[in-house]
Amino acid sequence: MPKSSSISSSTPSKGIAAIVGVGLKLGKSIARKFAHEGYTVAILSRDLGSLSKIAEEIAREEKAQVFAIRIDCSDTRSIREAFEGVLSLGFVEVLVYNAAYQPLPLHPTNFTEIPVNSFEKSLAVSSVGAFHCAQQVLPGMVERGRGTILFTGCSASLGGMSGFSELCCGKFALRGLSQCLAREFQSQGIHVAHVIIDGLVGAPRMPSILQRTTTGEQPSGVGGRAADGLMDPDSLAQTYWHLHLQDRSAWTQEIDLRPSTTFRFF
């Protein structure tokens, strides 16, 4: 069953936003953004203890309903059970798939030394898990003629790189899945987009970007992170939100985001 953290809010809920692959950086910022905008949010990852703390923090800050649900994206049964909990909350209007697998430390690995089970797990988490999660929510979206599915890619989505076969192959497949779903379901009102994060994501660096005013003003200090080559997760979350808001007459199907410096992940 979903573990809930919530504080009552006068803002009516707009639906369920399910964020899969929530840690302390990008996933958390995306979840906070959708909670801030009035969505009931389900956050999912393997570590339920850490996830519950994130849910409590977002619920307290945004006066929102946030549900923490454990999921193992390499396990079909775990995905199915997790989404039984998510779907019990109501109509899933937004799915963000942010899960990925890469053994740490993150460094090039000689191809002949990669264990096949590690390669298979990367494929399972990056692409097969995304396939299963999308299958869970698409029937409800098609029935209502609306919904948004956003997949998180990275530099490895665009080209093969020496020493990173595990990461590249999973992310290549995820990009292909996103393109296929966009072509199949966009005519039915479902917006599917692939977001390429071409850089390293740091911790939030500012008073939350959610504090921007309706006139577009930014809190003091905004714009200072680029010097360290890291990407601000709150700024990235804004892009996910804007993709969700796009008019269907001009949907983005793929977008790449990178810091203004020449720093690259690979």
The SS3 assignment for 3 reads strand
Structural domain includes residue 265: no
Residue 6's pLDDT is 52
Structural domain includes residue 263: no
- DSSP letter at 24 equals S
Structural domain includes residue 41: yes
**Mean pLDDT within 29-35:** 98
State the Cα–Cα distance between residues 62 and 178, nearest whole angstrom.
Answer: 31
| Non-local CB neighbours of 130 within 8 Å, separated by 6+ positions | 73, 97, 99, 151, 174, 177
Q: What domain range is 78 assigned to?
A: 3-257
Backbone angles phi, psi at 44, to 5 degrees: -130, 135
Q: Which helix (H) or strand (E) holds 53?
A: helix 48-62
Torsion of CA 191, 150, 154, 126, to 10 degrees: -120
Structural domain includes residue 20: yes
Structural domain includes residue 266: no
Better pLDDT: 214 or 179: 179
Count of CB atoms situated within 10 Å of the CB of 192 = 27
Structural domain includes residue 264: no
Structural domain includes residue 262: no
Cβ contact 77:130 at 8 Å: no
- What is the per-residue pLDDT across 201-232, written as a single tens digit (0 to 9) for each? 988 875 554 544 344 444 444 444 445 789 99
Residue 261's pLDDT is 76
Cβ contact 262:226 at 8 Å: no
Q: Which helix (H) or strand (E) holds 170?
A: helix 165-185
Indicate the burial class of 250 (C-beta count within 10 angstroms; 0-12, 13-18, 19 or more).
Answer: exposed
Q: How far is CA 101 from the centre of its chain?
A: 14
Whole-prediction pTM value? 0.86
* Tokens of residue 141, six digits: 């979206």
Q: Can you state the percent helix, strand and coil of the chain, rounding each to 5?
A: 45, 20, 35
- What is the per-residue pLDDT across 43-83, written as a single tens digit (0 to 9) for each? 999 999 999 999 999 999 999 999 999 999 999 999 999 99
In total, how many domains does the chain have? Answer: 1
Structural domain includes residue 227: yes
Q: Is the pLDDT of residue 36 over 60?
A: yes
Residue 220's pLDDT is 40
Residue 44 sits in a domain of what CATH number?
A: 3.40.50.720
